[in-house]
Amino acid sequence: MEKIVGGTRGRFALQTNGIFLDRLEPSLLQKLHTILVSVDGSEQVTDRERGKGVYRRAMRNVETVRGNGYSGDMVARMTVVQGTDIFENVIHLLGAGLFDHVHWQLSFSMFWKSDVTEPGLQEWLTKYNAGVSSLAHWWVDEMARTGKVPGIVPFIGIMRSLLSGAKSGLRCGSGDDFWAIMPDGRISACPVAVDFDFSVVGSIQTHTPASLPRVEVGEPCASCDILGICGGRCLFVNKSQDLLREGAYAEICGTVKHLVAELQGALPRVRALIDGGLVTAADFDYPEFNNGCEIIP
């Protein structure tokens, strides 16, 4: 039986490193709409960041729960660090045959003041952008070849907005339709900023969802020409720019603007594929609810 929340059926998502995923009973698995597994790409890439053997164990457990009857949305949730080949590793995960979707987010560690920036970051960001370009071209080519939309979450979410023309708020939903409830009842707009004043918007003792104040991004996002597509990327980073090293915010924005530009460039081909009946506009209606994929990397 599904949980009924506010007159609608509750939908449950699980974020996990996958280490103990195989321990879930099949009856519990069937209650999950989405499982997001923290795997960063190939075995070498994942184990470098998460520890030796993590990749094989996580992938084996994903295969196990598939075998135990899980038929919901399985998402590979990548953290992309400096040196990662984005094209190679997204293609690897899609080719594993275990995941419906792949999503990634750039690691904060490259941009904080407190972290030592590895040499060659600018060169890697250039390669990252080039990899995103190659991935976007491959994505549309695959649609034309197979009649299916490969499950690259950032591409799907942005393309949906480009097709519809609808403007987006923060893609993660923080401060709009997503909140984190802390053990003492306080309500935080952002789950990673629970100790920051900007994020605490009320409590379960004093507020209803409708009465919570919305938290919006400030500059430079507020006046950016792609705000309606990007949404502001990350509320925490926007409100905590003083924690970033000099120039880091512009570097982050540069990757987002490049991603959006590539998909704007792909839009005519995608429209042609829809008009030709190879894919449909509905194929880009993902995610159906806020399932933990922030869309903008």
Block residue for tokens 């097709």:
163
Structural domain including 129 reads: 4-174+215-284
Residue 189: inside a domain: no
Residue 92: inside a domain: yes
Lookup: tokens for 182:
């802390």
User: Alpha helix (H) ranges present in 96-203?
Assistant: 121-146, 153-164
d(CA 164, CA 155): 14
Residue 95: inside a domain: yes
Quick one: how far is CA 24 from the chain centroid? 24
Please give the tally of structural domains in the chain. 1
Question: In CATH, what number is assigned to the domain containing residue 55?
Answer: 3.20.20.70
Residue 8, pLDDT above cutoff 70: no
Mean pLDDT of 140-164: 98
CA R_g for the chain: 19
Quick one: how far is CA 269 from the chain centroid? 24
Residue 48: inside a domain: yes
3-state class of 39 per DSSP?
coil
Residue 167, pLDDT above cutoff 50: yes
Residue 247: inside a domain: yes
Residue 40: inside a domain: yes
Phi, psi of 22 (to 5 degrees): -70, -10
Residue 187: inside a domain: no
DSSP-derived secondary structure letter, 297: -
Per-residue pLDDT tens for 69-79?
899 999 999 99
Burial of residue 210 (CB within 10 Å: 0-12, 13-18, 19+) is exposed
Residue 147: inside a domain: yes
Residue 110, pLDDT above cutoff 70: yes
Query: Measuring CA to CA, which residue among 118, 163, 154 is closest to residue 230?
Result: 154
Task: Supply the pTM of this predicted model.
Answer: 0.93
